[in-house]
Each structure stands twice: as C-alpha cells, then as structure tokens.
C-alpha cells in the first residue's frame, strides 16, 4: 500500500500565509491533489464567483470563521463579466460556521456569498462514482 500523507497544522497554516501573498482573496494549502481528487485547506477573505465542478463532489468542513454559502440553483454571470462576478439564482442560502460540514453534489453550483472576515475550510473534491 501507498504510504499515508501527513501534513501538520503548522505546515498548512504556513502554506496559507505564503499563498496569501500571491492571492489575498482566496488561497489554498494543498494536502494532496491528483486527477481523481483534490484535498486542500482553503482560506477566503472575500467572496468569489459561483462555481460548479461537473463530475466532482465536494466536502467542505469549516475549520474557522463564518460566512454565507449558497448551493444549488443556477449560476448567473452577466455577458462579458469576470468569473468572479458570477452569482446564483434560486439556490439555498445558509450561514456556515466552525464545525459545519457541507456535501456539494457533483455539478452543483456553490458560492460563498459573504465572508465574515476570514473563513477557512478543508475542501475534499473527489470524482463522482457512477
């Protein structure tokens, strides 16, 4: 069997701090990424545009902070606008906080509409098994 992957909290937080220098609004500390799955710690300081990942499910486990997450519905982006301006119409809006776990089905739109300061979460994205 393959060896286990271990990344300490200190290493993850240091990676987030370094990544924040290049991308202050949203940055990641990788745990392990392949073609079939992605495991990262993500930190957001501002909302980004709505997104969906066809063929991939996601689990978000909130480590720190609070925000407003919208899931489902339809992604809406004005013609010619940047991807970061995409929103969701008709989705379900929830407040999320430390300890919450969210499962986003494959292809489902999701969007951190509001972030209260900073929100940090473990993101596990994996290929949908059909």
| Block residue for tokens 């609004």 | 25
pLDDT of the residue at 129: 84
Identify whether the C-beta of residue 58 lies closer than 8 Å to the C-beta of residue 82: no
d(CA 79, CA 91): 21
Instruction: Measure the CA angle with vertex 107, ends 111 and 72; round to 5°.
Output: 45
Residues ≥6 apart with Cβ < 8 Å to 98:
62, 63, 64, 65, 66
User: β-strands 37-44, 92-97: how paired?
Assistant: unpaired
C-alpha neighbours within 13 Å on the C-beta side of residue 84: 5
pLDDT of the residue at 83: 82
Give the Cβ contact number of residue 129 at 10 Å: 6
Would you give per-residue pLDDT tens digits along the chain (130 residues)? 889 999 999 999 999 999 999 999 999 999 999 999 999 999 999 999 999 999 999 999 999 999 999 999 999 998 888 888 999 999 999 999 999 999 999 999 999 999 999 999 999 999 998 7
pLDDT of the residue at 1: 85
Query: Which two structure tokens, joined as six digits, stand for 48?
Result: 């980004």
């Amino acid at each position: 069997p393959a060896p286990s992957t271990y990344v300490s909290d200190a290493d993850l937080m240091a990676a987030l701090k370094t990544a924040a220098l290049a991308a202050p609004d949203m940055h990641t500390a990788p745990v392990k990424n392949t073609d079939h799955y992605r495991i990262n710690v993500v930190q957001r300081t501002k909302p980004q545009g709505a997104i969906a990942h066809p063929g991939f499910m996601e689990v978000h486990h909130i480590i720190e902070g609070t925000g407003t997450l919208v899931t489902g519905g339809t992604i809406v982006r004005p013609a010619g606008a940047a991807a970061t301006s995409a929103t969701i119409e008709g989705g379900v809006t929830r407040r999320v906080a430390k300890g919450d776990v969210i499962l986003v089905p494959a292809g489902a739109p999701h969007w951190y509409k509001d972030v209260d300061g900073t929100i940090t979460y473990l993101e596990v994205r994996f290929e949908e098994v059909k």
